[in-house]
Amino acid sequence: MNPADTPVSRSVRRRPARSAAGFNRTGAQSSPLALRSMQSYADEQAALPPAADCAAGKGIAAVRLAYVREAGEVGSVPMPGAITDAFAPRAAHRAAGAPELLVDKLGERLSWERSSVRLYQALMDKTAALAAGATLPLQVEELHQLREEALEHMHIAASALDSLGADSSALTPSAAISALVIHGVTQVLTDPRTTLHQCLEAILTVELADEASWELLMRLAEVAGQDELLFHFHRAFRHEHVHVLKLKRWREQLVLGTPEH
Ligand SMILES: [Fe+2]
């Protein structure tokens, strides 16, 4: 069976790439009676002495403070299995903690770019399904190029870790946190109900973080005296800058384009 003729793709094809007006009942205006009772409740709360509000806020802050002080850190940066000359820090760089930071942030990049490859595959699949019933400002082939560059960036991060003598299979603290951050974007991209505009919006946040993160890695490599890594990091940074520009342009064309988008 032609994938374009499956029940799923037929239902996707009927939907616009942007959100359409419909029977959304989440707003207060959809229930005037409930709105009045909600307003009177809010008025009652506003009439309470300010001290009560303040005490509740301070209570939450006190609990958070206690937890933050007692909690440990999210994991640790694994020590290299084989210390290489490249990883051995110079005294001045050691003071800045650059080698550990470099390994931590490279682990984050590796994890993030691997997720980006999967995100672009999901976006390619959705774009192919939507393209059957609408004129879109982007082609699947263009997304394929971005996916391939994300894959290249993943290999740049892995090779850099290897050259430092670090274990590229280890999950660093920043990698663990980045997996949490990107989880929401994955949910958006793989939800069959989301529009192309919503998906572009979500993946744009990934690309903005990509650009900023490769820029930071360039600085970390400089501080750690890893000049040989700079060339590759700069190449990835240039790619990311173009990715951001492309996604912004496609998003703008979808928002400002013709109604069939
Ligand atoms: Fe990217």
- In CATH, 91-256 is 1.20.1260.10: yes
Q: For residue 210, how far is its CA from the centre of ligand 1 (angstroms)?
A: 6
- State the SS3 of 206-219: HHHHHHHHHHHHHH
Strand (E) or helix (H) holding 66: helix 50-70
- CB of 15 closer than 8 Å to CB of 194: no
How far, in Å, from the CA of 148 to the mean position of ligand 1? 10
DSSP state of 136: -
| Tokens coding 127 | 């774009």
Q: How far is the CA of 136 from the centre of ligand 1 (A)?
A: 21
Distance 78 CA to ligand 1 centre (A): 26
Give the distance (Å) from ligand 1 centre to CA of residue 207. Answer: 5
Distance 30 CA to ligand 1 centre (A): 41
The 10 Å Cβ neighbour count of residue 192 is 12
For residue 228, the number of C-alpha atoms closer than 13 Å in the C-beta half-sphere is 8
Predicted local distance difference test score (pLDDT) of residue 32: 84
Domain residue ranges in the chain: 30-70, 91-256
* Segment 24-38, tens digit of pLDDT: 888 888 888 888 888
User: CA 79, CA 220: separation in Å to the nearest integer?
Assistant: 18
Q: What is the pLDDT of residues 55-96, one digit of tens each?
A: 667 788 999 999 999 998 998 888 766 555 555 555 444 544
CA of 134 to the centre of ligand 1 (A): 26
Contacts of residue 151, defined as CB under 8 A and 6 or more positions apart, other chains included, come to 113, 117
Count of Cβ atoms closer than 10 Å to residue 235 Cβ: 15
Residue 20: band (very low, low, confident or very high) from pLDDT cuts 50, 70, 90: confident
pLDDT of amino acid 112: 97
> How sure is the predictor about 211, in pLDDT bands with cuts at 50, 70 and 90?
very high
User: Is the pLDDT confidence value at 137 over 80?
Assistant: yes
CA 203–ligand 1 middle distance (angstroms): 9
Gap from CA of 155 to ligand 1 centroid (Å): 13
Separation between Cα atoms, residue 256 and residue 244, nearest integer Å: 18
Between the two ends of the chain, the Cα-to-Cα distance in Å is: 27
- pLDDT at res. 257: 80
pTM: 0.80
pLDDT band at 2 (very low <50, low <70, confident <90, very high): very low
How confident is residue 47, by pLDDT bands cut at 50, 70 and 90?
confident
Q: How far is the CA of 150 from the centre of ligand 1 (A)?
A: 6
Cα separations in angstroms, 129 against 106, 141, 147, 195, 257: 35, 14, 18, 11, 19
